[in-house]
Chain A
Amino acid sequence: MSDKKPISSVNDFVVRFANVNGSGSASANEMFARAILRHGVPVSPRNIFPSNIQGLPTWYEVRVTEEGHLGARGGVDMMVAMNPQTWDKDVAGIEPGGYLFYDSTKPMPSTKFRDDITVIGVPLTAITNSTYTDPRQRQLFKNIIYLGALSALLDMDPKLIEQLIGEQYKGKEKLLSSNVHALHLGRDWALQNLKCPIGLRVKKSDKVGDRIFIEGNSAAALGAVYGGATVCAWYPITPSSSVAEAFTAHCKKYRHDPETGKAKYAIVQGEDELASIGIVIGASWNGARAFTATSGPGISLMTEFIGLSYFAEIPAVIMNIQRAGPSTGMPTRTQQCDIIACAYASHGDTKHVLLFPEDPAEAFEFAAAAFDLAERLQTTIFLMLDLDIGMNHRLCRPLKWDDARQYDRGKVMTAEMLEEGRDFGRYLDVDGDGIPYRTYPGTHPTKGSYFTRGTSRDRYARYSEEGTVYADNMQRLVRKFETAQDLVPRPLQANAERPTKYGVIYFGSTSPAMDEAIGLLEARGHQLDRLRIRAFPFHSSVASFLAEHDFVYVVEQNRDSQLRQLIVNENGIDPVRLVPIVHYDGTPITARFIAKAIGDHQDHLKVTPLRKAVS
């Protein structure tokens, strides 16, 4: 049937599942990804889902990648087309030479297929209906049956899938055996009726190592548990809700007093984002470690409080799981589009600390670090995740914790210190780092109390509307922000093999695609030094990197090149030397996109005068 040679590839291909939302496909698809991991082959799965609970199309894409390229690749080698609604688009999206897997129970007209792909029909509905009578069972087991058929087609070891089923349904023998049965129904049908395996194959390897498979939101929530967060206030919003839900689940396991059963945490679902951040500010003012998790629209609502946190110098941790904006746009699509909104959130002169984890492992580390930073700097710390990191399982290094680590509670004056006669000025910079001491409410009967206000107070928190007093405080806040530069995670630099005058800056979830793109660019003869920014304010090494290179590409997932704007603004850099590479259609950025955009620009630079190329 095909006039193009079928794609032949071992441990390097993309399978996309097209499903109907709410059909129970998610767990079967995730099991497919996990089964490949058990073969020792890295995978990178992604959910592409609508803002819907039931009925609309949803996709799950699994990149099988022995090389360990965890970014999205683009293109589909095998489409598991289970959704008639999206059939035409799904079939059109298959790479030439690719494979189409579909339910052949109902015959399809030949016009619905393509000549340049291999079509694999399995009568899933017929097999399912002849085995099961209950409608819900039919729906769920159909997913396991296609998993079984795929295992035969892709030459997977069924023992490894059985093992996974065994782990998932441990103690539920009936479910366990019926799932294994369904798996073999599909597998046996494929072995008996189809040519197995096809050109795409999974072969056992050892490239996964000790890495773990976890969603960024869950890892960040675990970081909050390890980092000592005791108060969490939140309002449901995709894609951040699973942070609070994971925090709840983790706390239920690890934060109850074994003797009394009482909770060493408090979680409140607020009536909105204003209440959520208000609760965080109130709790932090009173000395607890508190956080909220939200997304773009929530940040917009919280900005007044974020300004208060800046001026009144109250710690707060906000996890922002970014999604495509504006607020009512594409809430289930990924972007890095709140950089400016968070860096300068609120009225008046404000600046905030941002942390940019690249994957779940860093989300865990930075989440825990955010609480130390918030209390050390007495201000809001943003943990800037996005949907791509937050809501997808990502292979990453195991999470680590040093048991000797103590929390940095920052400059807190205790009753003993006040009793010794230490001079307490709530906004007094005693050692030049711009950070004053604070006291918790209720510390001492006669010393250390103060009245907290947004503005209009002197170094001793006494009311003042004097211009010089206000300016003095604003200058101290600048000093404090300079102190922050050396406390936040530093940028990581990786240089090209040969010296080059070209560099690239990137951050967050762009990381795996960027790493892969470097290889593609080197193959085209382009050498680039890389700098991965991990926090704002920018460390001095960012300015050095810019000084060392003639042109620096800034790769990001938003339209307005927001990180580039921030770099230009904060470093006083000639914007012409910073070339924006932006991707903002809501899909995760790919290595192919980056390599093409930078490669084309580089080619262009070599043949035309510099002035023209960048104008």
Chain B
Amino acid sequence: MTYIAKPKFHHPGLKKNALGYTHRDYEGKISTLCAGCGHDSITASIIEACYELSIEPHRVAKISGIGCSSKTPDYFLGNSHGFNSVHGRMPSVLTGANLANRDLIYLGVSGDGDSASIGFGQFAHSIRRGVNMTYIVENNGVYGLTKGQFSATADRGSKSKKGVTNTDNAIDLVAIALQLGATFVARSFSGDKSQLVPLIAAAIGHKGASFIDVISPCIAFNNHAGSTKSFDYVREHNDAVNRLDVLVGRDPIAVDYAPGTVQVVEQHDGSKIALRKIDADYDPHDRLGAQTFLARHAAKGQIVTGLLYVDPDADDLHEHLNTVETPLNALEADTLCPGSAVLDKINASLR
């Protein structure tokens, strides 16, 4: 949502991906969020992940609700259709869009107010249904656009900028997503691009409901001492269980390899996730184990990040509904309408 058009020229030597697109082809309009906003880092990570995956930009549909986070789809993938829909209702709009055309990539962008408060129900039910999507929550613990009220992900005992202590219990969307059967669940930090970019890429490659909770500090209203969503707090309490690389063809996406045990997960789209374990005991294929691990670490005030759970053989809503391969929006009267002869028979049965 910007008044300023972004200039289109770029350096002639800019690197191109497998489809011949440059990084610039995945950008959108200039952000109007506050300078230093964590959300802009997530936008940059989405751009990078899509570039690295060599996705055709127009084959992505970006859908959001309302709020600071929901404005961001305007700032990436300028050649994609975007839909800034209704507060808390991104999941249902995305579900409908996905049903209409199963061939596109669906990127749902939401915030903590959008998904944990007004849209908690829609978040839960889209996960339950296994909609094939990448659902990103840009989680800062506050309502930014309305100036700093607590959201439902704010931790109990954390302080607002005005010094008010939050007395309500926090909702952990990752824990809920795990419980509701999401088949790809991750948490990351907007300040850790090397972790976030491959997570987004892996989530896009996953078939089924992918959920990523990205802690994204609000520098205007939630970056002070006493906040548990500030840059400093998240850096200090970040407990990454793994780091990953997504391998499309032979090119690893991330470059800053670190030593550790590597586990390879083959995804439905043929890509591979190379998972470098940091916590040797953590098994990302164990849903129950992940839930317990999260609860234990949350009790200690730690923020667990990384790929927390993945089921590479997951199915999605279209499989549950047994829909045809052709997108429903491409079907016409010749295949949809039973015709007059059938109607005559129906009439005859009603006499």
Contacts and interface: CB of A to CB of B under 8 A. Distances in A.
Interface of A: 37, 208, 210-214, 222, 225-226, 228, 230-231, 233, 254-255, 257, 260-268, 270-272, 274-288, 290, 304-305, 308, 398-403, 405-407, 439-446, 449-454, 456, 463
A400 B343 contact: yes
B212 to A, nearest CB: 21
B83 interface: yes
Contact of A439 (B81, B129, B325): B81
Contacts of B89: 274-275, 278, 305
A274 B79 CA distance: 29
Nearest to B58: A445
B324 A263 contact: yes
Given A287-B100, A452-B84, A255 B336 contact: yes
A266 B319 CA distance: 11
Contact of B101 (A213, A271, A405, A442): A442
Nearest to B62: A451
A595 B322 CA distance: 54
Interface string B303-329: 000000000000001100111110011
B337 interface: yes
A228 B333 contact: yes
B323 A290 contact: no
Contacts of B73: 451
B338 A254 contact: yes
B103 to A, nearest CB: 7
Contacts of A268: 95, 99, 129, 317, 321
Given A263-B324, A284-B96, A288-B328, 11 more contacts: A225-B336, A228-B337, A260-B324, A272-B121, A278-B95, A283-B328, A283-B329, A287-B100, A308-B86, A407-B332, A463-B3
Nearest to B336: A228
Contact of A399 (B74, B125, B333, B343): B343
Contacts of A282: 63, 83, 85, 92-100
Nearest to B338: A254
B309 to A, nearest CB: 23
Given A225-B338, A401-B339, A288 B322 contact: no
29 contacts: A210-B351, A230-B99, A230-B329, A230-B336, A231-B100, A254-B342, A260-B324, A271-B121, A275-B95, A278-B86, A278-B92, A278-B95, A278-B122, A279-B99, A280-B96, A281-B96, A282-B96, A282-B99, A286-B96, A288-B328, A304-B86, A407-B333, A441-B101, A443-B58, A445-B57, A445-B79, A450-B81, A451-B74, A452-B82
Contacts of B322: 261-263
B42 interface: no
Contact of B61 (A274, A405, A407, A441): A441
B80 interface: yes
Contacts of B122: 271, 274-275, 278
A264 B121 contact: no
Given A266-B328, A283-B96, A463-B3, A271 B338 contact: no
Interface in B37-59: 56-59
B335 A278 contact: no
Nearest to B80: A449
Contacts of A211: 351
B100 A230 contact: yes
B104 interface: yes
Contacts of B94: 282
Given A278-B122, A451-B73, A463-B2, A286 B329 contact: yes
Contacts of A274: 89, 92, 122
Given A403-B340, A407-B333, A446 B99 contact: no
A276 B96 CA distance: 9
